[in-house]
Structure formats: structure tokens, C-alpha cells
Amino acid sequence: MLEIQNLTKVYDGGTVALKNVSFTVEDGEFLVVIGLSGSGKSTLLRCINRLIEPTEGHIIWDGVDVTQLSGEELRKVRRKIGMIFQQFNLVRRSSVLTNVLSGRLGYVNPWRSAMGRFPRKDVDKALSCLERVGILNQAYKRADELSGGQQQRVGIARALMQDPRLILADEPVASLDPATSHSILRYVEQLNKEDGATVLCSLHFLSLARAYATRMIALKDGEVVFQGLPTEIDDNRFKEIYGEDAIQVEIR
Amino acid sequence: MSDQEGKDMKGRPRGLLSSWRFLVALLVAVVVYAYGWRETEINIHTLITGAPDIVHIVTQIVQPDLLARDKEYQAAYAEFQLPCAATPPSQPARSESEPYLVLSHTCGSTGEPLSVEGFNFRPNTRGTLRWTPPVGTQRSLQHIDSDENGHFVLAVSVPAVEESEQVQEIEAELRWNVGIPYPSETLRVVLDKMVETVFLALMATTFAIFIAVPLSFLGARNLMGGHRGTVILYFAVRGFFNIVRSIEPLIWAIIFAVWVSIGPFAGVLALGMHSIAALGKLYSEQVESIDPGPIEAIRATGANALQTVIYAVVPQIVPPYLAFTIYRWDINVRMSTVIGMVGGGGIGFLLIQWVNLLRYKQAGVAVWAITVVVWVMDYVSGVVREKIV
């Protein structure tokens, strides 16, 4: 169980990205975070694995306060949290296989990995992860030779390598076309349903959110303005979250 | 100038020339350039009248001393007395096969015409007629061109040398090439120094890489922005780069020539010093412009700092680092050709020596060697850079 308690983030320039955010995620949920650009979705996800340091508040994951950890302990928590990014964040000049293997860095011997060596079983695992996302034949290509959808599948394979118990997906399909978006989100859904990983996923499109979420929260100006089931978001709620001028755009 | 100002009261656009700001700027420019013209002593006239002076330098440089051939010599001698005494020297002995000289007379006074005739010399060959007084130095009198029978007649006048009771010697020497051409001594020395030059650049660039790479991380703002201490280190490293880079390699060469004495090691240190700063600055700017996305992603997997650098930073900077390094090596080869002029070893030392001795045929060899090596390096580095970037 993941508990976010009174989370606040104020950036150096004084921008308040998160204001006293609190919610709970049960194990096995597929929680979608919606909200406008700049509403604090990315900051929220990055605070959970401490890529961004929260200003105030606590993040309790399975009884451990993540905000109090540092060094080795923090890395041990991070390796259990897979992350998927809008811009895929692959090392473009490295091979697909190396990118996937890097998901294992939290587990392997740092000195061996610094020399570029991974245990045989990790290489086998990486190849099977690539097979699972359907791009095994691309394993030895450079990451930047792949299409956007394929690159995001590499990102998913990298997260899979971590044997994650929690997945943080930051706008995983915002750079992709609608058809590819669904195939990527189906892989994330598989991680959730078959591997039992809890998913926190931020999305722009409400239609996508409705299709995959077991529960949703909405952020507006850094505050939680909605928590509930996808079906509970009607036109009024929609205007509350996205503003009066917004129009719903469907992605099927 | 905005549109408003460019129009007069009636709204018509005014010409550029009628704007007072333009006229002031024009006036300032005229004054500046007129002063600059005077200050730098620009003189178009000497550019034209002085041109003939360089003709013989250029002709020697374009005919470099590349090849040499073995020479053979043939000489005959005659004796002359200045002034005439009781018994003038006898004419040289005549021979059927050996070359010999015949003088019109064997004693006389300075300035008198004298005819020198040669027989049995090698046909169609060039040479020199020389006069060797018993006291003082030998002098050349005239060129010799033997005819198809190996015969020549030269009309000279008795040179103004010191008079003596001892005989004056007249020598006719013909020279010709034999065998096939081979690389001249100059060419061999130049090639030897050129190898030194290329290695000088290699050593300097290599030393610079080893120091500039670690420093470049300390000089990258995105990596050093964390604490007060690291920020101070960042400014120190950046300051070092800027100061060292602003001192030209030639100045460094002068410093190191005194420090470690004249020679290629001073050149290695001078070029290395400048390259550390130049590469360090380029490298750290490259580190600053890397994509932060992969760093974030690798950190998120639970990787430690070393793993993050190796998996997220290094792959992004290796190709540009290689490109900058090859470019620098290219610059260093060019610089190492001149660094010898101030005692830094390499080909520049030979070049400046030959120029000072007015030996332009030799200097020409050095100039051509530099041109060829720089051209080849330019081409090779261009190809390599294209392949990896």
C-alpha cells in the first residue's frame, strides 16, 4: 500500500507544484492521474521515487517512509519502482539490449556493471523482456533507430527488468499516435494484471484514462480536485478539472 | 531605426543617406579606418614595387632541395705570375688524352686581358674557372661550357689579387651528374623532423585528453550545481580553462623552453597546456548539453552515481569528445610546425633556421612537408569525424 500524506513541493523559483496532496493507492490498483499540463502530475510521480525532493509531507510505501531514506536504502526502494517516461528517456546511442539491461543496475554488482558486464541470467531476462514486448529482433539495434512506439516498449522492458512492485508512468503515450498509445497501455495493463504491479499513470486523455483506470485522481494547480471511479467523471467534473473552455477529445 | 523615424512629416520614407545617425556613423567609420590605415603603415606602393624582391625566394621555394645526384669532376690547372719576373712559369704540359689548359701568356699585370683555352675536356659540360692566389682567397672568374669536342676558349682579365713572387694558380673544373637521383640530405632531415612534429602533436593531444576529461566533469554546471563547494570548484576549473586558453601556445612554448630547455618536450608541454584548456572547455560544454532524460531514467532504476555516469552520461559524450579530440589533434599538428620557431622542437626549428640563413631551397622542403602533412591530417580527420558523429 502506498500512502501519500500532505505532500507539498515548492520549487526554487517559488513555484508551488504540489499543495498538500494526500491519497492512498492499494496494491494492484491501476491509478490514473489526470490534469492539465503544469497541474503537478510529473512532480507527483517523481516525488514518489525521489527523483524530485518533496518539500514537505511523507510517502509511506509498505510501512517505509520513502522521504526519510538515503543512499543504499533509497536505491533498494527505487529498484522496486519501475518508471516509464513520456520521452522514453532511452540512451539513444546505446543498443536496445543495453538500455533494457540498465533496468537491472540496482541489483547487479556495481563494479562489474561499470565494466559493462552483466550476469548471463540478466541478459537472458532482458531478451525475454524484449520478446514479451514484441521487439526481440531489434535487440542489437541502436535505440534511436527505433520508432517512437518501439522505443517506449524498450522503456517498458527496462522497467520490467526491475521486477517492479510499483510502476510510475509519466505520460507514457503523450508522444505517440492513438493506435500505438493503446498497444503501449495494454503492456502497462499486463504488468498490472499479470505481474501484479501497482500502477500510477498520468494521462492527458480522459478517454484513455477511462479505458484503463481502476481508479482516478485529478490534479489542478497542484491540488487533488477529484478522487474516484472513472465513471464518476461527468461533464461538470470534467469542466472542474480542465476548465470551462475545455472540450473532450476522444481517443479510441 | 524604426519605420516611424525613417519617414519625414509627409510620411514618405526618407533615404538612408539623409538620416543623421547614418552620417555620424559613416564619419566615425571614416576616421577610424583612416587612423588605422596610418597606424598600420599600409603602403600599396611597396606592395607593387617590392614584388620583384621576393621572386627569387619564391622560385627557390617552388624548387625545393628534394633530390640529389652524385657528381663527377674533371679539372686542369695552369700557372701565372703576377707581376712578370725573370722566368715566367711554363705552359702546362700537353697531353693526348688528359685535359689541359693553354694560356695566351703566363705572366702579366692586374686588369690585363688573358685568354684561357681548354682541350680534351668532357664535351658539352659546365664548370667554373677559378683563380687561386698564393695569399688570400680563391675566386671564381667565369662559367665554362665545353663544346662537343671538349674544347673552350675564355677571355678573362687578370683579377685584382695580391701580387707575389709565387705563382698564381688557374683552375678549370667541370662537373656533371652521374647515376640516379636520390633523396637529398635536406629531405632526410625534414622527414626526420616531420615525424618528430607529428608525434609532438600526438603526445600533446594525448596528455591533454587525460587531464581534460576528468576536469571537464568538474567544469560542467549541470553536474556541479549541487553544493556551494562544488560550485566554487566549477568556477575554479572554468577560470583555469579560460586563462590558460587565452595564452597562445607560442607563449607557452617560450615559457617551457626555459623551464625544460629547448626541444620537443617543451613543445609537447606547450601544446598540451593549451589543449587541456581548449579541450576542457569544449568537453564541459558538451557535458552541459547532454539530455537529462536518460540520467533520470537510470537513477530511477536504483543505480548508484558511478553507474549513472557510465550508463547515462558517457554514451552521450563519447562521440562528441572523439570529434573534438580529432579536431584538436589536427590543430596541434598545424601548431607543432611553428612551435619550433621559439624552441619547441619539430620542423619549425629547421624552417626558421633556413630562412634566417637565406637557404630558401631548404626552407622550401620544410614548407612543402608542412603543407602535405597538414593537408593529409585535415583530410583524415574530416573523414574520421564524419564516420563517428
d(CA A237, CA A227) in angstroms, rounded, equals 11
Interface test with B, best of A42, A61, A69, A89 (most B CBs within 10 A): A89
Q: Which residue of A has its CA nearest to B299?
A: A51
* Residue A100 · residue A161 · CB < 8 Å: yes
CA B294 to chain A, closest CA, distance in angstroms equals 5
Can you point out the beta strands (E) in chain B? 67-82, 100-103, 113-119, 126-132, 139-145, 152-157, 164-183
In eight-state DSSP terms, residue A249 is -
Q: How many CA atoms lie within 13 A of A124 on its CB side?
A: 3
**B268 by DSSP, 3-state: which?**
helix
The shortest CB-CB distance from A83 to any of B300, B304, B316 is to B300
CA A110 to chain B, closest CA, distance in angstroms equals 7
Interface test with B, best of A91, A97, A98, A122 (most B CBs within 10 A): A91
Q: Is B164 on the interface with A (CB under 8 A)?
A: no
d(CA B65, CA B54) in angstroms, rounded, equals 18
CB-CB under 8 Å, A49 with B304: no
In eight-state DSSP terms, residue B150 is S
In total, chain B counts a number of residues equal to 389
Give the three cell numbers for residue A149.
512506439
**Span(s) in chain A for CATH 3.40.50.300:** 1-80+164-252
Query: Dihedral of CA B207/B209/B210/B216: which sign?
Result: positive
Q: Which residue of B has its CA nearest to A49?
A: B300
Q: Is B302 on the interface with A (CB under 8 A)?
A: yes
How close are the terminal C-alpha atoms of chain B, in Å?
43
- pLDDT means per 10 residues, chain B with 389 residues, are 46 65 92 94 88 86 84 89 83 86 88 90 91 86 89 89 85 88 88 90 92 89 77 91 91 91 91 93 90 90 87 87 85 84 84 88 89 86 75
CA B39 to chain A, closest CA, distance in angstroms equals 53
Alpha helices by DSSP H, A1-101: 41-48, 71-78, 96-101
The answer for B 257-296 residues in CB contact with A (under 8 A) is 291, 293-294, 296
Neighbours of B389 (CB within 10 A): 11
For chain B, how big is the Rg over CA atoms in Å? 36
Q: Given this model, what pLDDT does residue A161 score?
A: 92
Distance of CA B317 to the CA centre of its chain: 36
Pairing of strands B100-103, A64-65: unpaired
d(CA B297, CA A46) in angstroms, rounded, equals 11
Place of cell 602533412: B373
Residues of B in contact with A80 (CB under 8 A): 302
A-B Cβ pairs (cutoff 8 Å, strict): 83
Q: Is B305 on the interface with A (CB under 8 A)?
A: no
Place of cell 577560470: B239
Q: Is A89 on the interface with B (CB under 8 A)?
A: yes
CB-CB under 8 Å, A104 with B296: no
Q: Is B309 on the interface with A (CB under 8 A)?
A: no
d(CA B337, CA A89) in angstroms, rounded, equals 46
Interface test with A, best of B227, B301, B304, B322 (most A CBs within 10 A): B301
The shortest CB-CB distance from A94 to any of B291, B299, B315 is to B315
Distance of CA B118 to the CA centre of its chain: 45
The stretches in chain A having pLDDT less than 70 are: 244-252
* Residue A38 · residue A31 · CB < 8 Å: no
Residues of B in contact with A83 (CB under 8 A): 297, 300-301
The shortest CB-CB distance from A102 to any of B301, B306, B316 is to B301
Q: What CATH architecture applies to the domain A1-80+164-252?
A: 3-Layer(aba) Sandwich (3.40)
Q: Is B301 on the interface with A (CB under 8 A)?
A: yes
CA B274 to chain A, closest CA, distance in angstroms equals 31
Residue-by-residue DSSP string for B201-235:
HHHHHHHHHHHHHHHHHHT-HHHH-SSHHHHHHHH
CA B197 to chain A, closest CA, distance in angstroms equals 35
Q: Given this model, what pLDDT does residue A63 score?
A: 86
- Inter-CA distances, A27 with A137, A218, B265, B355, Å: 34, 20, 68, 85
Q: Is B46 on the interface with A (CB under 8 A)?
A: no
CA B363 to chain A, closest CA, distance in angstroms equals 48
Q: Is B322 on the interface with A (CB under 8 A)?
A: no
Q: Given this model, what pLDDT does residue A235 score?
A: 74
Element (H, E) at A216: strand A215-220
- Inter-CA distances, B188 with B54, B178, B252, B264, Å: 27, 20, 29, 18
Could you report the per-residue pLDDT of A69-126, keeping only the tens digit for each? 888 888 899 999 999 999 999 998 888 999 999 999 989 888 888 888 889 999 999 9
The shortest CB-CB distance from A105 to any of B294, B298, B319 is to B298
> In A7-45, which positions are buried (b, 16+ CB within 10 angstroms) versus exposed (e)?
bbbeeeeeeebbbebebebeeebbbbbbbbeebbbbbbb
CA A248 to chain B, closest CA, distance in angstroms equals 30
CA A136 to chain B, closest CA, distance in angstroms equals 21
Distance of CA B345 to the CA centre of its chain: 13
Distance of CA B100 to the CA centre of its chain: 47
